[in-house]
Structure 1
């Protein structure tokens, strides 16, 4: 809700779709790997109490057997950062989210470039118990 607050209008349907879309995470026939930067985890779009709850939720997702959630700490040297959020669906399609919309890439060279960038970032991330511990400390700081 907070991420849409700057856009005029009723956002109820959009929010409901975003929440509904999360149900796919519980479909064990699908696999997901998410990477977040510490800056994204700590971004104060909502108040500290709500942000702590969101951070706890992220940590809980690391227990799902089909979900890998990694956090890249600010102390990890990552090299150039991606300028936009991107999603790689498989080796055939990747999307990049811009403020003006979404770009879809189907050219194998473009998809491979995003896979390589993802791999560089993934190598710097904390996963599993390390991610849970890190996220727990972030949430504790907010409380």
Structure 2
């Protein structure tokens, strides 16, 4: 499905208004609709007031109860899908201050138990050394010191043994020369070190692997529990909350994982790539 980023913010209010209109057309009160859908009247009221975003399952159940079908059902389901999608443009984030984005990520990470990072292009901030972080932000104008500090502060979450992390990187992501050979050597050595944490699973997909990875476009994405997926693009990020989207990305992640190398074999590759950069310094 294609999303118009500018329309996503309006989708929740449009969905709320349309659902309210269809309920009234069906001659049902909020209480009666809630009883038939196994929802509380409060939840129905919050959905119709735009205070909460219903899942697609909620909306499908409401449509079935109301007997809605045809074009109106299609319209409502389209609105529901858009309402469960958020667009965070890079330009808007920069105007607000990139450190604010780091605060939002920290709050999300605090309530997440299982993380899945798919990294086909570069190393994520949670794994980055200070110099690598600074290099990754070099194209941004202005003072990035607050953003760098926030990114590094967020790394403390890796020490929380109650959370489980899986990082999946392509060889290209690890070896892309974002910074000097010295910085790259230190960065790859950090990956090897983090991979030894008992609640962290870090794998790499070497170049030359033949499989489904090369058959589909690769985007950076992170799955937070079964709650949401953040998919990064060249100009921003899509936040997908619909369970079908989350499940689809979890399935993609599992498929990519089957082509990755972990443990000692992974660390052997990391050591080989680190040595490559070390030799460039000689």
What TM-score does the superposition give when structure 1 sets the normalisation length?
Answer: 0.95
Q: Secondary structure at the match of 1:70?
A: strand
Q: CA deviation at 1:58?
A: 0.3
Q: Is the aligned partner of 1:120 residue 2:260?
A: no
Q: Secondary structure at the match of 2:214?
A: coil
Q: Secondary structure at the match of 2:187?
A: helix
**TM-aligned CA distance change 1:82 to 1:61, over 3 Å:** farther
Q: Secondary structure at the match of 1:74?
A: coil
Equivalent-residue separation in structure 2 for 1:57 and 1:70 (angstroms): 14
Q: CA deviation at 1:100?
A: 2.2
1:63 maps to which of 196, 200, 209: 196
Deviates more, 1:81-90 or 1:28-37: 81-90
Q: CA deviation at 1:113?
A: 1.0
Which has the larger helix fraction? 2
Q: CA deviation at 1:81?
A: 4.6
Q: Secondary structure at the match of 2:215?
A: coil
The aligned length equals: 143
Q: Is the aligned partner of 1:39 residue 2:172?
A: yes
Aligned to 1:20: 153
Q: Is the aligned partner of 1:30 residue 2:30?
A: no
RMSD of aligned C-alpha atoms?
1.1
Equivalent-residue separation in structure 2 for 1:48 and 1:67 (angstroms): 26
The runs of 5 or more residues in structure 1 that have no matched partner are none
The runs of 5 or more residues in structure 2 that have no matched partner are 1-133
Which has the larger strand fraction? 1
Equivalent-residue separation in structure 1 for 2:272 and 2:248 (angstroms): 33
Q: CA deviation at 1:83?
A: 3.0
Structure of higher CA gyration radius: 2
**TM-aligned CA distance change 1:11 to 1:41, over 3 Å:** same
What TM-score does the superposition give when structure 2 sets the normalisation length?
Answer: 0.49
